[in-house]
């Protein structure tokens, strides 16, 4: 456990979860700036660990190889000495081991959105093997049914992101964290951060 400077409350990592298109990467980047923390994008960490893109990992080794690398990267990133903001991939809560390590030392934030909103955001699904060549809305509806219970169980904070900008979602997450007493206003960097006004 670590402590946010200026706060008596212990706080670990912040982990953003949600389906593809939820805005985990864009929100994570701005949130990390506001909290003066390092931002880690788990998909990016996986590609660095594997030396291959997500698409190539799926293509060559299938989803199980990807999931093994995902767990390995998750454990490595959460071992970081300082508290980070972690943008996960949409399937991260599928494995029990991942749920256990996240529950141990992270506050989980679920960025929720309607499947229609997500489908609009992911467009043709390029770079996302689970969507390529398939009907994105249909896949996202199925995944929502499958995964929402796990997101719900894991999350301390839930933000409905439909129609919000990146900055509005960041503010909503920070407000919730302040309500829980895990972030104090004076711990925040007040400046406007690039990308905060963008659409999710
Ligand atoms: C996946 C989501 C992707 C990536 C991989 C699998 C999933 O991440 O991890 O393609 O199972 O939902 P994003 O949620 O960042 O798109």
The predicted pLDDT at position 194 comes to: 65
Task: Specify if 147 maps to a domain.
Answer: yes
Domain CATH number, residue 121: 3.40.50.300
74 pLDDT exceeds 70?
Answer: yes
Task: Specify if 87 maps to a domain.
Answer: yes
Q: Whose CA is nearest to atom 1 of ligand 1?
A: 90
From the CA of 91, how far away is ligand 1's center (Å)? 6
**Predicted confidence (pLDDT) per residue in 12-50, tens digit:** 899 999 999 999 999 999 999 999 999 999 999 999 999
Range of the domain at 63: 13-180
**Predicted confidence (pLDDT) per residue in 109-162, tens digit:** 999 999 999 999 999 898 999 999 999 999 999 999 999 999 999 999 999 999
Task: Specify if 90 maps to a domain.
Answer: yes
**Does 198 or 195 have the greater pLDDT score?**
198
Atom of ligand 1 nearest to the CA of 147: 12
Choose among 118, 107, 114: nearest CA to 155.
107
pTM exceeds 0.75: yes
Task: Specify if 6 maps to a domain.
Answer: no
Task: Specify if 197 maps to a domain.
Answer: no
The predicted pLDDT at position 1 comes to: 37
Residue 154 · residue 17 · CB < 8 Å: yes
The mean predicted confidence, pLDDT, of the chain is: 91
10 pLDDT exceeds 90?
Answer: no
Task: Specify if 190 maps to a domain.
Answer: no
Task: Specify if 199 maps to a domain.
Answer: no
DSSP character string of 128-184: -TTTTTS-HHHHHHHHHHHHHHHHHHH-SEEEE-TT-BHHHHHHHHHHHHHHTTSS-
The predicted pLDDT at position 163 comes to: 96
From the CA of 186, how far away is ligand 1's center (Å)? 34
Q: Ligand 1 in contact with 28 (CB < 6 A)?
A: no
> How many domains is the chain built from?
1
85 pLDDT exceeds 60?
Answer: yes
Task: Specify if 8 maps to a domain.
Answer: no
Choose among 135, 200, 147: nearest CA to 170.
200
């Amino acid at each position: 456990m670590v402590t946010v400077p200026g706060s008596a409350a212990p706080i670990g990592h912040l982990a953003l979860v949600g389906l593809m298109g939820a805005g985990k990467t864009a929100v994570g980047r701005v949130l990390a700036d506001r909290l003066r923390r390092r931002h880690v994008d788990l998909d990016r960490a996986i590609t660095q660990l594997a030396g291959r893109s997500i698409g190539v990992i799926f293509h060559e080794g299938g989803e199980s190889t990807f999931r093994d690398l995902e767990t390995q990267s998750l454990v490595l990133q959460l071992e970081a000495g300082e508290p980070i903001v972690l943008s996960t991939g949409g399937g991260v809560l599928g494995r029990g081991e991942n749920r256990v390590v996240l529950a141990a030392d992270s506050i989980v934030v679920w960025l929720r959105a309607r499947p229609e909103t997500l489908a609009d955001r992911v467009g043709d699904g390029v770079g996302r093997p689970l969507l390529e060549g398939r009907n994105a809305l249909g896949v996202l509806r199925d995944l929502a049914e499958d995964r929402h219970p796990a997101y719900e169980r894991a999350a301390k904070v839930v933000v409905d992101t439909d129609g919000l900008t990146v900055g509005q979602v960041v503010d909503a997450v920070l407000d919730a964290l302040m309500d829980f007493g895990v972030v104090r206003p004076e711990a925040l960097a007040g400046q406007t951060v690039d990308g905060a006004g963008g659409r999710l």
